[in-house]
Amino acid sequence: MKRIDRIFDYIAEQSAAFTKETLAEREGLDAQEIADALGILRNNVSKELNELVRLEKVVKFGGRPVHYFGREALEQLYGVVLPAGPVVYESLDDCKRSLAVEKKEVEPFDALIGAHRSLKRQVEQAKAAILYPPDGLHTLIVGQTGVGKTLFAHLMFAYGKTMGRFADDAPFVTFNCADYYNNPQLLLSHIFGHIKGAFTGADQAKAGLVEEADGGVLFLDEIHRLPPEGQEMIFYFMDTGTYNRLGETTRSRKAKVLIIGATTEDPKSALTKTFVRRIPNIIAIPTLESRSLGEKLDIIKMLFTDEAQRVKKPIRISVEAVKSLIGSIGTGNVGQLKSNIKLLCAQAFLNGIDNPEYIEVDFRMLPQAVKNGLLTLSANRQALTELTKYLAEPLVVEPPGRRRLRTGDNAQDQQAFNLYRVVEDKVELLKGEGISDDLIKQIVATDVNVYIRQLYDKRDSIALSTRDRLLKIVDEPLVDFSEQISLFVQKRLNRSYRDRFLYAFSLHLSAFLKRMKDKETVPYSEIAGAIEQDSLYYQVALEIKARIEHHYHVTVPPTEVEYIALLLESSEDDDLEEKVIILVAMHGAQTASSMVEVAQKLFNTQDTNLIPVDMPLEKAPQDIAEKVITMLRGMNCRQGVLILADMGSLVTLGAEIKEKLHIPVRTLDMVSTPLILEAMRKADLAGMDLESIYESLRSFRGYEAVDSEDVPADRADDGRQEAVVTICSTGKGAAVKLKSLVEDVLKGTGRNVAVLPVGLVKLEDHIRDLGSSYAVRAAIGMKKPELPIPFIPIEDFVGGAGEQRLLELLRAGAPAAGHAAVAQRVEEGQKSIVVRRLCEESLTKFLTYLNPSKIMDSLMEFDRILEQELGKSFSNPIRIRIIVHCGCALERAVTRTPLHYEDSKEDVDTQKLAAIQKAVKVFEDALKLHFSEDELCFMANMI
């Protein structure tokens, strides 16, 4: 049984035993619990769980830790049908609210968009302010114009009623302080009232707003317009609960009023310090621009629904119009967005006055300022891709009680794939707006990319394979040819395309052949140049063009190459490349960059998910924070950011990133190169998520070192202890990692040679100082010291040749007693300790059933026999690739899931195949495991 099936069966069995009460207590099963029960590594369980959510078999509940529950069991437990697509809830309560499975009184804040997401903290502040004994906390709401401060105050009041804090008939009194700010006397009279004769024209006594609001809330909008004397009277009333009307000399009146103020200004500069100190609860409402895409779309839906209720007709909004509205969101916030939507609906109502079914809002009727929002959004591919999760078709909203309109023309249109139509419609739309050809090409390329991802994600049944689904739509010979092309593409581009390219290419090829049969031209040469002609995608597209021409005996026009290149770029399975971003943040002009460079060299990678952040001492922390946030905005950070910082302000960088970008962030201080290497290994090789990496690194104390206290030190003739120096930028980090590897190499010699890490700063001086106590036999690292000491570059040491040279240097300088041991170690052959160590670490993360430490001897022996049979010695990087691949093949042999070799086996090099067949006998003898012929062909090709 496959690993994913084992995990699903376990979840289904456990979920079926849950009751509503036990589900409320536990919210399902977490990854660690499943991993322990099934004996599978936690990161592998997490990977399969996310796949099960995508396959609509399991429901995911957020939180810490994340929990999972069987979808079918949840439906049966509550007697509901879950919506189509992957289902993710923030909590069980969120699930219940969504499914309306509990008939309880809904809290007023539940109707607030973002109450459980971006506004969660603000809502918690508001609830605490209302319930705080004895009479609540006076509150100041801060935010730009149009963010919803007044709405938030009303919801606080409604929540107070729900919780019994206010009576059902309690008053909510609103006063805009700006109305009387030029006349302080009249303003104070309005708030506190006045007695007869208090001022000219005061012919009779009048109660103020404070009396009117007794037992409820007084909402003071634009409170920063209160003059200082007014603020003084307000804060005295907040302190004592007493006040006097204008003209009275004693404060003998009492009222129980909760004051809620609102301002667009900074309270510290717009209000007196004494007044601000009297308001313990300040709630900041974020701008609409900073809210998530999902929340922006929810707000747009709500505003259109309000208009649909007014005109008593459904409203249909085109995808481009919705994108433009989202992209145009700026400083106007919800207020400006509401005005834009009202005007659009009014125009749409007039245009569609003869249509009894619905009114339509499309891109062409938008004001130019709103149309520009489409260009803004199209420039951000990540945002556009995220938006398609929520919006794949025109948005249709109806007034309450109306039967839902169909959003597509017919079911066939919803399933059809027509890349030509996507390009034609987009080009026609944008050309009509006078947009330049270069910009059109960029937008078209982005839209095609998003369209193909959405197409494959909207598959009709998870039970069917891609081939089975395709055979429902196109004929079998075309699918066979497309599969050949898909395999060619994977081999040619050396990366995973899985089923997405096969699905898209088959449907597109079918549409192309139909156009050729109907003698229709391939449209819109304006897309020429959307993909650079010197790019690999374009070159592969040309090769595919030749294969189509040869197979179908047709002439493929040049424009079609553009479409195929777009398919290649858009179909790449980049979801597999999503990794945690690692920020190495350190004080100093080049400190972080130097450490990252060493770590990348050690890993032989240039991964873009490892980013140095240098902070020169003269730079302000805020400047660094803004620079980092700007950089991260253009990256795929959905998996989160791990910050490895040294000290000070850099440790607090994560809070600002999390607040501005709304992504998960974790921070570890006391950064070192071993810590960076371990983070890279867990993110890249193991594919662990942010929380797993963070938890595992909290207890990381560096790589193991040899305990040599009880081993007598080897001495040179002059009595000094022998030593090897490892060099990197700081003398820590990579030098410590090298120290660990060098000590591993020396274990087999039976000798105790000191391994001393040093930094680049004053390198020669440090080594000379060490020379007084140690006989330095060699230096290993990133820079050759200008001293008469044998030097082994770091790349040679990790590459293999340097390891043997080190042993030979030690043999040359060894005392007679130790000479034989070192000589024996050298003569043992090319068994590389470095290779063994790195292979074992990698396989630990890749294998589920086999123990890497138990099979390493067999794997190393396999490598030795293979090199002997081929008469060559592999470099360490190649040796590592072969051994790790072979280890994974052993696991496939155990699980009986071998790879299938699709190319011609007749083309496989017979000499290499014979060598492999002889070498794998070591596994047959030691482990009783046999490789299939297909697996052997893959190994031959790898060599």
Q: What is the pLDDT of residues 739-757, one digit of tens each?
A: 777 777 776 666 678 888 8
The whole-number average pLDDT for the span 662-680 is 83
pLDDT confidence tier of residue 139, bands split at 50, 70 and 90: very high
Measured CA distances, 706 to 442, 674, 747, 756 (Å): 57, 16, 8, 13
Alpha carbon 811 to its chain's center? 51
Please give the pLDDT value at position 841: 74
At position 243, the amino acid (one-letter code) is Y
Residue 839 has pLDDT above 70, yes or no: yes
pLDDT confidence tier of residue 277, bands split at 50, 70 and 90: confident
The whole-number average pLDDT for the span 622-646 is 80
Of 463-467, 632-636, 675-679, 795-799, which one has max mean pLDDT? 675-679
What is the Cα–Cα distance from 417 to 571, expressed in whole angstroms?
14
Q: Which helix (H) or strand (E) holds 260?
A: strand 258-263
User: Beta partners for 242?
Assistant: 254
Three-state secondary structure call for residue 350 = helix
What is the Cα–Cα distance from 291 to 287, expressed in whole angstroms?
7
Least confident interval from 162-166, 572-576, 596-600: 572-576
- Other beta carbons within 10 angstroms of residue 558's beta carbon come to 11
Of residues 400 and 77, more confidence is placed in: 77
Q: Which helix (H) or strand (E) holds 337?
A: helix 333-351
Residue 256 has pLDDT above 60, yes or no: yes
Please give the pLDDT value at position 430: 63
Q: What is the DSSP letter of 858?
A: H
For the chain, the 3-state helix, strand and coil shares in percent, each to the nearest 5, are: 55, 10, 35
pLDDT confidence tier of residue 459, bands split at 50, 70 and 90: very low
Least confident interval from 36-50, 420-434, 544-558, 722-736: 420-434
What is the Cα–Cα distance from 824 to 842, expressed in whole angstroms?
29
The whole-number average pLDDT for the span 769-786 is 82
CA torsion sign for 878, 882, 883, 887 is positive
Residue 504 has pLDDT above 70, yes or no: yes
Please give the pLDDT value at position 874: 80
The whole-number average pLDDT for the span 187-202 is 82
The whole-number average pLDDT for the span 101-112 is 67
Please give the pLDDT value at position 415: 40
Of residues 555 and 632, more confidence is placed in: 555
Residue 829 has pLDDT above 60, yes or no: no
What's the token pair of residue 261?
A: 């103020």
Alpha carbon 584 to its chain's center? 18
Please give the pLDDT value at position 155: 94
The whole-number average pLDDT for the span 796-823 is 61
CA torsion sign for 277, 283, 285, 291 is positive
Beta pairing, strands 665-668 & 641-645: parallel
Beta pairing, strands 754-758 & 665-668: unpaired
Is 213:259 a contact under the CB 8 Å cutoff? no
pTM, two decimal places: 0.44
Least confident interval from 2-16, 128-142, 793-807: 793-807
What is the Cα–Cα distance from 799 to 832, expressed in whole angstroms?
10
Q: What is the DSSP letter of 145?
A: T
Assign residue 695 a region: left if phi > 0, alpha if psi is -120 to 50, beta otherwise? Answer: alpha
Residue 790 has pLDDT above 60, yes or no: yes
pLDDT confidence tier of residue 154, bands split at 50, 70 and 90: very high
Of residues 939 and 648, more confidence is placed in: 939
Q: Which of 409, 401, 408 is nearest to 308 (CA)?
A: 401
The whole-number average pLDDT for the span 108-120 is 86
Of 505-519, 540-554, 584-598, which one has max mean pLDDT? 540-554
Is 262:150 a contact under the CB 8 Å cutoff? yes
Residue 712 has pLDDT above 60, yes or no: no
Please give the pLDDT value at position 573: 46
The whole-number average pLDDT for the span 400-420 is 44
Of residues 844 and 574, more confidence is placed in: 844
Of 151-155, 358-362, 603-607, which one has max mean pLDDT? 151-155
User: CA angle, corner 342, sides to 340 and 347, nearest 5?
Assistant: 95
Please give the pLDDT value at position 215: 93
Three-state secondary structure call for residue 212 = helix
Residue 470 has pLDDT above 60, yes or no: yes
Of residues 631 and 792, more confidence is placed in: 792
Of residues 554 and 449, more confidence is placed in: 554
Please give the pLDDT value at position 702: 60
Please give the pLDDT value at position 419: 56
SS3 per-residue string spanning 170-207: CCEEEEEHHHHCCCHHHHHHHHHEECCCCCCCCCCCEE
Q: What is the mean pLDDT of the chain?
A: 77
Alpha carbon 284 to its chain's center? 26
The whole-number average pLDDT for the span 239-252 is 83
DSSP-derived secondary structure for 398-438: --TTPPPPPSSS-HHHHH---HHHHHHHHHHHHHTTT--HH
Of 482-491, 542-551, 698-707, which one has max mean pLDDT? 542-551
Phi and psi torsions of 666, nearest 5°: -130, 150
The 10s digit of each residue's pLDDT in 312-358 is 888 888 888 888 888 888 666 788 888 888 888 877 877 776 677 78
Please give the pLDDT value at position 213: 93
Please give the pLDDT value at position 103: 42
Residue 572 has pLDDT above 50, yes or no: yes
Q: Which of 56, 60, 7 is nearest to 35 (CA)?
A: 7
Please give the pLDDT value at position 411: 33
What is the Cα Rg of the chain in Å? 35
Measured CA distances, 803 to 738, 876, 880 (Å): 11, 10, 15
pLDDT confidence tier of residue 153, bands split at 50, 70 and 90: very high
pLDDT confidence tier of residue 173, bands split at 50, 70 and 90: very high
